[in-house]
Every structure is written in structure tokens, then in C-alpha cells.
Amino acid sequence: MQVYQPEEINFAKPKGHKVHSTPPNEAKNPYTYLYLKEPSRGTLLFKGNGWAKNFTLIKKNTGFTNVSGGDISGQTNIKNISVEWFSESEDYLPTIAALARATYDLYLLVWYTEKSNLRDKIMTKELASIEGIKFFNNPTDCIKNFDESWIGKTVSSLYSWITTIRYIIDKKISNLFGVVSLDPSINTGDKELTKNRTILCLTGLNSTSQQYKTIVPAILEEDLSDTDLLVPQVLDLGNGKLTEMANDIFDKIGSWASSSGEKELVLVGISNGARIARQLLVKIAKTENLNIKKIHLVPIVGACKGSVTINKVKELGYDCLVSKNIAEEMPVDSPRSQQLDREWDEAMAIKKFGLQCTFIASPHDWHIPNYSSTLMEVPGVQARYALVPGHGHLSIVHAIGKVVAKVVTL
């Protein structure tokens, strides 16, 4: 179980479910709540005893159990679930053992505040912030949150021009004076994967591993004692056929995925890399005898369902600006994009692994402006969505290193 919390709470660790010390006891607080998130996106709301220690279930919002929604009555088979804080181990644990099983992948968010509207806030779609970036559990509320302030949108748009220009200048300077390589210890596909958890980072179109030059160092600052980090070069710099690119990446992890022990794969993809990651996930779902039991898909400004910009390029007759494969396969609703959607649906029906998704996008994306791709809906899957203000498609990757590091190591 993992803990998420608003910034004003500091007694729970950023990772895991242990706490720094005893929850505050200064005064009893009537607005102490927590909720558990199910993989089906259902919400179980608990009310605390006032000291952020013991919580009783009071409300359910969809999910696996037999409650369609609303306040909990005595007729439901989940009415006896509670969550308690154990001082001996400094753990928050549910009293029903089944809830603690990894297959449920439930999340815990503790609130300790004086705000009287807390209960309403908890049952809305906003999740915790990570490094100051707000996450939501559906794309509609994520977009709505950004659109609420026209002043904020204007400032963000103007700043995105500045950060994009700065990115272009920095890249020109790097090309002129030479780029600094990633840590030579980083596995680019030439080393064996030996741990049961792997973070796999896929680059965008015409990009090298340098695209991760701020993300990888941030990840390396986290605890990777049980994790391998793999940053391979994508076939043809992302200009190949989608199936061939995904199969090439699969070949780099196939032996690891089929070796003994339960495996977990964190699949990060920037831009076109997210489209490849999606095809790779389909490949994994349809391959027998793999031991991957959990996948966390993390698209960053991802072309998960193609790009309308490529549609426009083709309409205007400027196909020469992109490779033949990109022009044919990457447009939204192209035959290849439609094929990927069908294969994805088939994979979701037969997958033998738990899946969660975290989508990080830009509200000022010229390359992939369609939220249907960058904030793709994934029905029935635990998902988080975030828009990063003040950055476009290019500059965002150098602004969210710490955010991505926290997301992939949670």
C-alpha cells in the first residue's frame, strides 16, 4: 500500500506506507479523513476518530464490491472494513486482509485539516500533488482545473514560449560544444537485467537518450536497490514501423521478463516513445510464459493515439517533413492507429498483470495537441493525469525530472 497526502501533512513518508512518527495528538479534529482507491477507480471514504489514527468506512463510490455508491448502510458486506494506525510498526493497515493484497493495488490518502468542506473535496477527482504538480484521476477534471483561470492560462502560455526558446538555445549550444553523456553506468541494452523491477525509458522521435538528461539523474537519486534502469536507443530513432520498434524493445527485456520471480515493469515513454510503449504493452499481454505481474505506464506528452499535427501535415502536403512510416502510421485514426486501439482493447481483456497509468502532458503542445493522446482515457485502469503549466512539448522533459522520479519509484 502506498501513501499520498496533501502538502500540509508531513507525518507520512513520500514512499511506502510508514510514517515518520505518531500522528498529531494536539487536538481532536473532526475533519480527519482518508480514502482508498481501487484499481477500478472506485473510492472508499473513511472518517477518522479525530487524531488521524483509526478510520471507519462511511462512503463508497463505485468499484468491485456490491455497493453502487453513496453512504454505507448495514446491508453491505464491506461495512466492517476499517483502517488503523499501528504504533509498533508505524503502519497504516486495513483490517480486512484482502485489502492489503498487492493485486488490489489500493492507495491511501490521509487528510488532517480544519477545512469544513473536506468530505466533499475527498470525493472529487483531485489527487495529491507531486513536486507541486497536481494529479487527477480523470482527464476531464485535469483539463478543467487548468482552464478555470484565464489569467493563469495566459501566463502559462506566455511562459511556455520562453521555456521553449530557452530549450532550443540550450540544445543548439549543446550541439555546438558537445553533449554530456548520461551516467556510463546506465544500462542502454548492453547489460543483463538482474533485478525483479525495471524502469524502461523510451525516447521520442529523432531523440537519443539525452532526452532523459534531467529525468535519469533525478531517478538515480531515489532508492533503486531493487530496480534496474534501462534507457535503450529506439530503432531508427523512432522512425521505424511501430510493430518493429516495439518488438526490438521487447527483445531487450524478453529474457528478464521470462526469468524466475515476479517482475514489475515501469514503462516511461516520451512523445512517440509513449506510442511505442503502448504497443510494447500489447506485445507483453499477448506473450505467454512471462512473469511480469505489474506494469506502470507513464506517457509524457505521449502520442498514445497518434497526433493531429501529423494529420495536418499530410493535409497540407508536407509529408516530406516527417519519415514515411510516421506519415503513414502516426496520424490520429490512421489504419495503424486504429489497429493499435483494437490490439489495446484485446490486451486489456487478456492481460495477466496489474496495470496503472500516469499521464503527464503539456497544455501548450504543438506537436501532439490532442488530449485524447496525451491524456488518454483508460477505462477500468487506475490512472492519474497531470498538466504541467508553462511548458510546451519540448521543454517539459527538462522541467519534470523530480516529478517523474517520484512517480516511477512510488
Asked whether residue 153 is domain-assigned, the answer is yes
Instruction: Give the count of alpha carbons within 13 A of 337, CB side only.
Output: 21
> Has this prediction a pTM greater than 0.75?
no
Q: Does 251 share its domain with 207?
A: yes
Assess whether pLDDT exceeds 70 at residue 112: no
Give the pLDDT confidence score for residue 132 in this predicted structure: 84
Residues 6+ apart with CB under 8 A from 75: none
Q: How far apart are the first and last CA of the chain?
A: 10
**Domain boundary, last residue among 91, 124, 157:** 124
177 against 283, higher pLDDT: 283
Alpha-carbon distance 108 to 4, whole Å?
Answer: 6
Structural domains of the chain, count: 2
Q: Are residues 225 and 77 in the same domain?
A: no
Look-up of cell digits 494506525? 85
Q: Is residue 179 part of a domain?
A: yes
% residues pLDDT > 90 (the chain): 50
Report which residue type is found at 218: A
Residues 321, 173 within the same domain = yes
DSSP states of 266-319? EEEEETHHHHHHHHHHHHHHH-SS--EEEEEEEEES--TT-BHHHHHHHHTT-G
376 and 274 together in one domain: yes
- What single letter denotes the amino acid at residue 366? W
Kindly report, residue by residue over 327-342, the tens digit of the pLDDT.
999 999 999 999 999 9
Q: Is residue 131 part of a domain?
A: no
Domain co-membership, 152 together with 217: yes
**Beta pairing class for 382-387 and 354-361:** parallel
In a shared domain, residues 113 and 223: no
Model pLDDT for residues 372-410, shown as the tens digit of each residue? 999 999 988 888 999 999 999 999 998 999 999 999 987
Q: Which has the minimum average pLDDT: 18-27, 44-53, 253-262? A: 18-27
Contacts of 371 (CB under 8 A, 6+ apart): 139, 143, 361
- Residue 204 pLDDT exceeds 50: yes
* Grid cell for residue 27: 487536538
Range(s) of the domain holding residue 77: 2-124
